[in-house]
Structure 1
Amino acid sequence: MPQNSTAPRILIVGGGYAGFYTAWKLEKHLRKGEADVTMVDPLPYMTYQPFLPEVAAGSIEARHAVVAHRRHLKRTNVITAKITGIDHANKVATITPPVGDPYEFEYDQIVVTAGAVSRTFPIPGIADNAIGLKTIEEAVAVRDKLMSNFDKAASVPAGPERDRLLTTVVVGGGFAGIEAFAELRSLASSLISKYPQLSFEDTHFHLIEAMGRIMPEVSLKTSEWVLKDLAKRGANVHLDTQVTGAVGGNVELSTGQVIPTDLIVWTAGVMANPTVVRGGDLPVEERGRIQTRADLRVGTAEEPVEGAWAAGDVSAVPDLSGGGVGGYCVPNAQHAVRQAKVLAKNLVAVLRGEGTKDYFHKNLGAVAGLGLYNGVFQSGNIALKGFVAWVAHRGYHGLAMPTWERKWRVLWGWWNNLWLGRDIVNLQTVQNPRYVFEEFAARPRPAAPAAAPAAPAKAAPAKAEPAKTEAVPTEAAVPVKDDVKTDAPAKRRTERAERDEVKAPAKKAPAKAKA
């Protein structure tokens, strides 16, 4: 959308939950021409992260778990690039596109919703061998990796290599880790029937948690039920255990145990997007998040930063309900979506000279899927387990998925899977799509080595004269010269004359006269 030079310019940094919903609601609340809205994100879509475990398990098509920015943001200028610097003192942001040089973008209001990334520790081998579960690409890679390992394991005999291929390790026992762990266990169990060479006992699943319990969002009793349920399904949970190394895929634990594996999924926490936080001059709190007020303006309760807003995982928003960790809202989708809606209303109110409202949301509870037809739900003292909780999980997230277009795609996929079963097509090779073309593509032959330059022509050497001796050469040794040919007739005449003379009789001498 071309910018109106006279209207206030609103820059939204990040197009995830909070960023997408802020832009979506601003389009609803702003009058035509009241402001120019620009959203910058390196990806052209918003990812609905609660669906990532089901994408990894093949229960949801990957494209259905994301929302295209340009399809649903009709009056927002969408830029697919990164924000690599924020100079709020001068209200200028640096945009770095994937192609071309960085450039500066002037704004009047900035909304920072850059989200979070996986938080890791300097453990040897983790950066080289593990994979997170924060993006749709990671979820697809985890699914394809697990299924590819089944293909490989089915072709090797029982032994250490097969065990390594069929061993999955998930690090982190929070909601994201437990959901991913349970969904992958469910996928592996369903794959067994497709591989007669393998048995259920061949598969090994380990979850590593540094604390003494899992899922702190639910009651201790509910978390213990989840542990028992996972144990029944052949999954191992290691509590009070830390990962000390993962070099070469060998996961070393603080207990001394070593688990060889070909798939390590890291879900042990998140941190605010460091590129945006460290690349700007907005105030940051001790945990590396942007300091945010209850009305979602950047700053403290006593002193807001004029023209700056923040929401979602990148921000430290006070939890006025009293249920937040350390007094702040926990970084999850439930808060990010609701914060974005309040932020959009407050931003419009400020543009119109009106007052703002504080963000307040009391946690409705927690719901998690633990594989097909199994789940857990906790709201206050109410806990649901098993199939009922699984229905609640799908119902809640099916409705929470933004836009009806995406809702229908997800619901239609679930309906098809109910009758057709889980889709187990493995497309790992899509990560290297040119491998077949490269293998058989005709290539030009190597050029022949250049011939050495010809040496300049030399005069033919004169024939050596035969050495002169005292002996007279025989006739056969005498070379024939060209001029002899011209005298051949004369020579033949001479030879005939000599023969004729030999044949003629000698003449008698005259008789003497008598005396």
Structure 2
Amino acid sequence: MARTAEDTPGAPHILIVGGGYVGMYTALRLQKKLKRELRKGEVKVTVVDPNAYMTYQPFLPEVAAGNISPRHVVVPLRRVLSRCTVRNARVTEINHDDGWAILQPLAGPPERVSYDYLVMAAGAVPRILPIPGLAEEGFSLKNVGEAIHLRNHVLEQLEIAESTDDAEIRRKALTFVFVGGGFAGVEAIAEVEDMSRDATRYMRKVTPQDLRFVLVEAADRILPEVGPEMGKWTAEQLRGRGIDVKMKTFLQSCVDGNIELSDGSRFPAGTLVWNAGVKPAPVVKHTDLPLDERGRIKGTEFLTIEGMVRAFTAGDNAAIPDLTEEGAFCPPNAQHAVRQAKVLAENIVRALRGKALKPYVHNNLGAVAGLGLHKGVANPLGLKLKGWPAWFFHRTYHGMMVPTFNRKARVLADWTLALFFKRETVSLATVEAPRADFELAALDDAKPRQKTVS
């Protein structure tokens, strides 16, 4: 029988907090670089995440639009990290000086786990501002559950409008507000508008002209990652599709779905999607790790944690210096996260073997954004692509980047089938309340039977 890390006294234990981009890719790299040590039990790697999968977030807008199956954008952690220990739990506290973390499993009491090396890759959560009604009315697009909910919710709003003649109900149901003009917000509104337009083809009362999509952005441009010129072109394209793009505008209130904007606009909306920035996962506040003024973990160019020994960090929860621009930090996107994970894993191996660490330096490959079927914008390696060529490049790039051959094949199959069959535009909102009919039936059976009068 092969020995395990528990059987080897003093075997280093590497704790990875988070199973997203940085967490999963770091563990994958460690599996490859420490294959012999893991097999002999001379080192142990534990990945802790509340979910049993990693989500490829760039595909979430396409999931919301029904272009890709939700299961095809998630990677099962236990399947790909066969030599690591995967714990479905939430890390609630970390004391690095003493080398322990508190884990809260999905069920049962919390557990204290000791470790030797720490990788903080907890990621980020939506940054919710104190806007009246936002916490009650809004939702974001950060995970696959929210993508499924957005799709079902939007299609359900169309069904509501189709089933009533009440003008106020129809107006509210057919108004969709997206806040945030970055990648997440722009891709989401573009994909969902494209899907909604398709859905109206099968309706009698709802037409594309009845739909109202509003994009709200506080800055003076959208998609800053692709540059001013391409961002301006994107705004013009969205407006040409009937999307109301409001820049230099803030959401002030959304109580009971009544939208109030800083430009004086007031109107009801049945859908509010919030993609206006992120903040580090809450767990970083419950550690002894150094944080900057924005609540991010202070990282170094070596992806170590400032002032800490045997502690590493990367991704959305970290402030990592951008060595290509003085005074700048790496933006929280997938491109950086995947590359940082590779260097981070290499540096852990170097630390284990007593070698000098390598700094993280990147070359910007540009940015790509999908704007619905056959529409996109991109600036790869300085090139400026628009429309169909950008959309094709967007799919090619992300099709190559999605982890594992299994997922690549499944996503490609989804795209290929879409060439021959129209996409399904049916709301499955009942999956979000699966016991509703059961509870209604139980309630009905509990009522006393009324006698009929002859």
Q: Do they fold alike, i.e. is TM over 0.5? A: yes
Q: Would the alpha carbon gap of residues 97 and 168 (structure 1) be closer, same or farther in structure 2, given more than 3 Å must change?
A: same
What is the 5 A alignment of 1:128-139? 128-139=136-147
CA displacement at 1:439 relative to structure 2: 2.3
Is 1:203 aligned to 2:214, yes or no?
A: no
Counterpart residue type for residue 428 of structure 1: A
Deviations 1:446-487 (A, max 9, x none): 99xxxxxxxxxxxxxxxxxxxxxxxxxxxxxxxxxxxxxxxx
Flag as ranges the 4+ runs of structure 1 deviating above 3 A. Answer: 1-5, 441-447
Residue 92 (structure 2) aligns with: 84
Residue 171 (structure 2) aligns with: 163
Is 1:14 aligned to 2:18, yes or no?
A: yes
Aligned equivalents of 1:343 and 1:366: distance in 2? 23
What is the 5 A alignment of 1:376-395? 376-379=377-380, 381-395=382-396
Counterpart residue type for residue 155 of structure 1: S
Indicate conservation of the 8 Å contact 1:349/1:355, yes or no: yes
Aligned equivalents of 1:15 and 1:237: distance in 2? 35
Residue 310 (structure 1) aligns with: 313
Aligned equivalents of 1:141 and 1:177: distance in 2? 16
Indicate conservation of the 8 Å contact 1:4/1:36, yes or no: no
Is 1:261 aligned to 2:256, yes or no?
A: no
TM-score by length of 1: 0.83
Aligned equivalents of 1:267 and 1:3: distance in 2? 44
Aligned equivalents of 2:270 and 2:7: distance in 1? 54
Aligned length: 440
Indicate conservation of the 8 Å contact 1:2/1:77, yes or no: no
Residue 6 (structure 2) aligns with: 3
Q: Would the alpha carbon gap of residues 444 and 152 (structure 1) be closer, same or farther in structure 2, given more than 3 Å must change?
A: closer
CA displacement at 1:5 relative to structure 2: 4.2
Is 1:297 aligned to 2:304, yes or no?
A: yes
Deviations 1:264-296 (A, max 9, x none): 00000011112x210100111121111111111
Aligned equivalents of 1:37 and 1:221: distance in 2? 46
Counterpart residue type for residue 278 of structure 1: K
Residue 451 (structure 2) aligns with: none
Counterpart residue type for residue 403 of structure 2: P
Aligned equivalents of 2:442 and 2:68: distance in 1? 35
Indicate conservation of the 8 Å contact 1:417/1:423, yes or no: no
What is the 5 A alignment of 1:344-493? 344-379=345-380, 381-441=382-442
Structure having the higher Rg: 1
CA displacement at 1:198 relative to structure 2: 1.3
Residue 320 (structure 1) aligns with: 323
Aligned equivalents of 2:413 and 2:381: distance in 1? 32
Query: Tell me, what secondary structure is at the counterpart of 2:6?
Result: coil
Deviations 1:69-128 (A, max 9, x none): 111110110100000000011001001112111111000001000000001210000000
Aligned equivalents of 2:85 and 2:48: distance in 1? 8
Is 1:57 aligned to 2:65, yes or no?
A: yes
Which stretch of the first structure deviates more once superposed, 392-401 or 25-34?
25-34
Indicate conservation of the 8 Å contact 2:5/2:43, yes or no: no
Q: Given the alignment, which residue of 156, 173, 187 partners 2:181?
A: 173
Which stretch of the first structure deviates more once superposed, 394-403 or 24-33?
24-33
Indicate conservation of the 8 Å contact 2:378/2:384, yes or no: yes
Q: Given the alignment, which residue of 275, 280, 292 partners 1:285?
A: 292
Q: Given the alignment, which residue of 105, 110, 117 partners 2:113?
A: 105
TM-score by length of 2: 0.94
Query: Tell me, what secondary structure is at the counterpart of 2:47?
Result: strand
Query: Tell me, what secondary structure is at the counterpart of 1:305?
Result: coil
Indicate conservation of the 8 Å contact 1:132/1:267, yes or no: yes
Decide which structure has greater helix share: 2
Aligned equivalents of 2:56 and 2:194: distance in 1? 21
Query: Tell me, what secondary structure is at the counterpart of 2:321?
Result: coil
Alpha carbon RMSD of aligned pairs, Å? 1.6
Question: Identity over the aligned pairs, expressed in percent?
Answer: 47
Aligned equivalents of 2:22 and 2:446: distance in 1? 55
CA displacement at 1:4 relative to structure 2: 4.1
Residue 27 (structure 1) aligns with: 31
Query: Tell me, what secondary structure is at the counterpart of 2:365?
Result: coil
Aligned equivalents of 1:141 and 1:54: distance in 2? 13
Gaps of 5+ in 2: 449-454
CA displacement at 1:394 relative to structure 2: 0.3
Counterpart residue type for residue 294 of structure 2: R
Query: Tell me, what secondary structure is at the counterpart of 2:308?
Result: strand
CA displacement at 1:350 relative to structure 2: 0.7
Query: Tell me, what secondary structure is at the counterpart of 2:344?
Result: helix
Aligned equivalents of 2:294 and 2:65: distance in 1? 33
Aligned equivalents of 1:83 and 1:63: distance in 2? 25
Counterpart residue type for residue 337 of structure 1: V
Aligned equivalents of 1:2 and 1:54: distance in 2? 41
Aligned equivalents of 1:320 and 1:219: distance in 2? 20
Aligned equivalents of 1:166 and 1:436: distance in 2? 27
Which stretch of the first structure deviates more once superposed, 235-244 or 154-163?
154-163
